[in-house]
Amino acid sequence: MSIRNIAVTDTIEKFRTEFNAMTLDDFGDMATLSGSISSTTIVGAVNECIAIISSTAGWTMEDSTSTQQIVGGGQIARFLGTSNEIEAVVSGTNTVTIGLPSAVSITTSLTSPIVNAGNLTLTDGSITDSSGTINFGNENLITTGNITAANITSTSGTSLLGTIEIVGNTIRSTDSTTIYVNDRLHANILQGGDIELLDVGGRGTIKSVSGSNQVLNFDLWPIFNSYISFEGATDDGFETDVLCTDPTADRTVTIPDATGTIILDGSTGYATSTIFSSAVTLVIYNSAGVAQKTIVGSAT
């Protein structure tokens, strides 16, 4: 088949001759086409031929967007995976296996209602494990939010909250000998050494752990309000109160260095001879300060 060319100086006869030769010799007679070809144009016939050829000697690939690609005889279809994202393996007869590698890298994001990894399940903001335990290994867990738990148990036996260490039933500070409580501390019993502070019958009570006759020492000067109350040996509804009249100046009441019974203004039964022993002299003065009577000791 040669190239047909008609110059501007050629005659109409030349054009007729070349045109007929092109249609008869170059294009060919449509009547000689196979009966399986129904197209009436060269382009349509070629497209039909491609379809027939691909259906017998080739095949068509199509993706999710309906984009198609014909793979004809002698051509190669390549299935290429992406490193750390997807794998494509050709095996056996006409078999292509698409899968994930053992370690998958996701460069954008993964959206799924449920993610399972072994026994671990991640769904709706919750992480659960079918074994009942989520192990973070030797890693540190850091959060700027809150941690809510029924119990926090340390596998080493020691738990740290900042500088507060909890070992068994012992709480201590790791950076000093003082633990500060900024709010009110409520406890059924507070114990320091052998001394307990507890609530007995609705009253705050200080007692000794070792026994009822232990000594409570005050290294500082204790100051009481209006009175001191003594229960006595029997815990009942009767107490002895030592009252203090509201002082208008500093007052001093001295208890002598002696053993005996304190005599009150109405304790006449205790005014025995032993009070006036050892040659003690009692002088009675009037309101002017003049001695009126003198009682000499050693009375019987």
Q: What is the pLDDT of residues 136-183, one digit of tens each?
A: 888 888 899 988 888 877 878 888 888 899 888 889 999 988 999 899
Pick left, alpha or beta for residue 61 (phi over 0 → left; psi -120 to 50 → alpha; otherwise beta). Answer: beta
pLDDT in tens, 189-242: 888 888 888 887 777 888 877 766 667 777 888 888 888 888 888 888 888 999
Q: Where are the strands (E) in the chain, listed by range?
A: 59-62, 68-71, 87-91, 95-99, 115-117, 120-123, 126-129, 158-161, 164-167, 170-173, 189-192, 195-200, 203-208, 227-230, 240-243, 281-285, 291-296
- Residue in the block written with tokens 């815990």: 235
pTM: 0.42
Average pLDDT in the chain? 81
Question: Alpha carbon of 247 to those of 18, 206, 210, 220, 265: distances in Å?
Answer: 144, 28, 38, 22, 20
pLDDT band at residue 56 using 50, 70 and 90 as cut-offs: low
Weakest mean pLDDT among 57-71, 94-108, 272-286: 272-286
Neighbours of 33 (CB within 10 A): 15
Residue 61 has pLDDT above 70, yes or no: yes
Please state whether beta strands 126-129 and 120-123 pair in parallel, antiparallel, or not at all (unpaired).
Answer: antiparallel
Percent of the chain at pLDDT exceeding 90: 9
- CA distances 92 to 45, 79, 80, 101, 126, Å, are 37, 15, 17, 20, 43
Residue 51 pLDDT exceeds 80: no
Q: What confidence tier does 249 reach under pLDDT thresholds 50, 70, 90?
A: very high
